Amino acid sequence: MNIFNFIKIDEDSRVPKYKQIVDGIINNISAGNLKMDDKIPSINLFSEEYLLSRDTVEKAYNILKERKVIISIRGKGSYIARTKLISKVNIVFLINKLSSYKLQIYNSFVNGIIGKSHIDLHIYHCDEELFLNLLEKNIGAYDYYVIMPHFKTDKLKHISATLNVVKAIKRIPRNRLIIMDNTISEIKDAFIEIYQDFENDIYRALQKGLKKISKYNKLIIAYPESSVYPYPKRILHGFRKFCVENALDFEVLEELYEDIILRKGDLFITISESDLVNLVNQIRNQEFILGDDIGVISYNDTPLKQLLGITCISTDFKAMGETAAQMIMNKEKGRIKNPFNFIDRNSI
């Protein structure tokens, strides 16, 4: 087959020429004109045929390699490597950390869209440089870009997005951009946005548990000011607002030390998993009764916390992933606040 008989480059089109090449090859695979192991022209031959710069063709080929549509063999050329997933929706999923609750979002998303898409998962560890490299590497290669924006500053403080991150995300066509979990104030027109309202979510959830919370003498939140995976400061703002409005004595600690002083009538709110484990161990070792002498509320629910009977305040991670998948499948656009709940168990 002469591929040049099937791929057309429209000089007057506003679609970038590298994208026309990518789409042309993919469309011809879908049409059956190109099959597995078929050889395609070299970058030099392709650029000469269409009078395009070598860089333009190379960018198109690199995108096709990233999507595993073609494979290059040194000394032999480039070949069609994948045909089964060509007609499916291609999605890249960029998560800030590999935690159990982030995986709940991802798994529910995958289950909601299963069989109709190809999904690539990348973890950028709240790191600006790693995120920018991943996005640059994959820009233009996917139908949808799912991003959970949580970053850290040089001092390991939380920030939703840096200036460079905002600039990079703005390169993504809005009809392909899906922002989940957090918001970016500079980007208000994403195709789909499913977010947590961190300050008001914790405030309202604690209000729902006020009757039980009020029996304790003091509320203590363990909020890590700096962390490799930092948490939004808005969580702390919502906690303070709840305590002040309800005239509750409270204290903010950066972490729960192994020799922390525990008193009957304390109610702890933990955010990090390590603080929760450390606290529960100390309550047991000092022979306090969990949920009676000392209360514990954990931020972000997990199956293990459910099993252990730990009261939680948490967004519905499963619903977040399911909603995003459903909106993609139904081609819906919108901005949705994800449900956030007070989950009453045995620890208060």
Is the per-residue pLDDT at 1 higher than 60? no
| 87 pLDDT higher than 70 | no
Nearest to 290 by CA among 219, 247, 347, 343: 347
How does residue 240 score in pLDDT terms, banded at 50, 70 and 90?
A: very high
288: number of CA atoms within 13 Å, CB side? Answer: 22
Q: What pTM was computed for the model?
A: 0.76
Whole-number pLDDT of residue 196:
97
Lookup: tokens for 267: 């109610």
DSSP letters of 148-208?
---EE-TTS-EES--HHHHHHHTTS-GGGEEEEES--TT----SEEEE--HHHHHHHHHHH
Count each helix (H run) and each strand (E run) in the chain, helices first: 12, 17
> For the chain, what is the mean pLDDT?
92
Say yes or no to pLDDT of 77 above 70: yes
Report in angstroms the alpha-carbon separations of 266 from 161, 212, 224: 36, 12, 19
Mean pLDDT of 176-186: 95
Confidence of residue 231 (pLDDT cuts 50, 70, 90): very high
Sheet of strand 144-147, all strands in order from the earlier edge strand to the far edge:
117-123, 89-95, 144-147, 177-181, 192-195, 334-337
Q: What pLDDT is recorded for position 83?
A: 67
Tokens 């459903």 appear where?
326
The answer to whether residue 179 scores a pLDDT higher than 80 is: yes
Report d(CA 299, CA 26) in Å as an integer: 45
pLDDT per residue as tens digits for the range 15-70: 889 989 988 998 888 778 888 889 999 999 999 999 999 999 999 999 888 777 89
Q: Which of 115-119, 256-260, 295-299 has the lowest mean pLDDT?
A: 115-119
- Rounded Cα distance, 319 and 111, in Å: 12
Alpha helices (runs of H) in the chain, residue ranges in sequence order? 17-30, 43-50, 54-66, 100-113, 128-138, 163-169, 198-208, 210-213, 234-245, 273-285, 303-308, 317-329
Note the pLDDT of residue 74: 87
> In the chain, what percentage of residues exceed pLDDT 90?
74
Residues 103-133: tens digit of each pLDDT: 999 999 999 987 677 788 999 999 999 999 9
pLDDT in tens, 190-200: 899 999 999 99
CB atoms within 10 A of CB 34: 26
